Structures are given as structure tokens and as C-alpha cells.
Amino acid sequence: MEKKEIRRLVAERKKEYTGARLTQWSKQITGRLLELPCWQEAETVFAYMDMPGEVKMRDFIRRCWEAGKTVAVPKIIRPETAKGSSTVLKEMRFFRIDTFEVLSEGTMHIMEPDPERCECLDCEEDALIIMPGVAFDTDRRRIGYGGGFYDRYLAEHTDHPTVAVAFDFQVFDRIPSDEQDIRPQILVTEDRIMQ
């Protein structure tokens, strides 16, 4: 199957489940994340703010705060362009949040931190990254939403431990992968942990 077809299939599968079911599974995934040694050892966690149909992150982020961990979430920014340059890729940066009140709707209607009120933590090269995705396979290959934000970020910041989270219906036996696609070290669903 091609990536486009897999994205369509996952979107159809998401419609089969209620919000309550996805919330329940998200809580199970949070429980599994909290048992991982890489989470227990992390001082800083780079999480994400979920879109509808993704593994919900707010409960997980609260648990990080309760454990005394620093939390940052991504914001998509357009860097300053050099004079005469016509092509500029948007990039993902991680900003510290201590409350959800510093978030507002941003790219793709995802809640993002306000860079005027939040410190950029891109220098935290050993932070644990929790990443979403559209689909995965049992070898942890990942299909994202097509923007390449995590692949570009992780290609530049290579020391992060990485954990992807997904619902089990997002996991396939094998999905196509490109050379630039970066696999997370661990994949966590409501039913299993793959590493």
C-alpha cells in the first residue's frame, strides 16, 4: 500500500471508535509510558498537543508535571528568510509549558505555545521525545502527516530518546518507508510496547 492509501485507511478506522474509547485507550497508553525507564529517567519531556483522533496527551503532561519533569511542546514556525530566497521550510521548535493556559490554536488547528511567554528548549538535546504519527508498523516505521517536521527535527537533534504513541489500529505489519524517515526507538499502543 502507498502512504496516501494508508493515511486514508487510518482515517476510516478512526471513525469506527467513539471519543470515550479513544480516551480510555489514551489512559492505557499513558500508564505504559509512565512505566518506561526512559520516561522515569528523563528530566525533560518533549510531548505534543493532540489533534482529534490522536492519542490524548493532556493527562500524560499533567503526570509529567506531577513528577517534577520539565515539559515542552512543539510550535511550527517560519524562520526568517534570507534576502532573495524563495523557498523556506517551516520548522518545529519546542517551548516549555507549565500550564495549558499559554497555548493557543496554531498550525493545523493544533494548540501551540506562545513563544512570547514560553522558553525555547531546543538546547535540551537529551529530552525524551513523545511523538505522534498516522501509522506505524511492527518494526516502528512511521508515516506522519506529510510535513516532515519530526524527521527534520530528529535529523538535526540526534541524541533524543524517542517514543511514538498510537492506537493499535494504526499499526500495520509493514508500511513503506523513505530514507529520511526516522523510526522511534519505542512504539507504545494500548496493547503493546515495540522496541
Total tally of structural domains belonging to the chain: 1
pLDDT digits (tens, 9 = 90+) for 34-52: 999 999 999 999 999 999 8
For the chain, give the percent of residues with pLDDT over 70.
94
For residue 120, the 8-state DSSP code is B
> Both ends of the chain: CA-CA distance in Å?
24
Between 58-66 and 19-35, two packed helices, what is the crossing angle to 10 degrees?
Answer: 30
**3-state SS assignment for residue 176:** coil
Whole-angstrom distance, CA of residue 193 vs CA of residue 122: 27
- Cell triple for residue 34? 509512565
- Average pLDDT of the chain to the nearest whole number: 91
Q: What is the pLDDT of residue 86?
A: 54
Whole-angstrom distance, CA of residue 69 vs CA of residue 98: 10
Q: Which residues of the chain have pLDDT under 70?
A: 79-89
**3-state SS assignment for residue 100:** helix
CATH of the domain at 20: 3.40.50.10420
Order of all β-strands in the sheet with 171-172: 142-143, 135-137, 171-172
Of 134, 184, 178, 181, which Cα lies nearest the Cα of 164?
Answer: 184
Q: What is the pLDDT of residue 90?
A: 82
Q: What is the pLDDT of residue 84?
A: 52
Amino acid at 118: C
pTM comes to: 0.91
Q: What is the pLDDT of residue 80?
A: 57
- Cell triple for residue 184? 522511534
Identify the residue whose cell numbers are 507504545: 188
Range of the domain at 170: 3-79+87-194
* Ramachandran angles phi, psi of 138, nearest 5°: -70, -10
Whole-angstrom distance, CA of residue 157 vs CA of residue 128: 12
- Cell triple for residue 147? 510535513
Whole-angstrom distance, CA of residue 20 vs CA of residue 53: 11
Q: What is the pLDDT of residue 82?
A: 45
Q: What is the pLDDT of residue 81?
A: 46
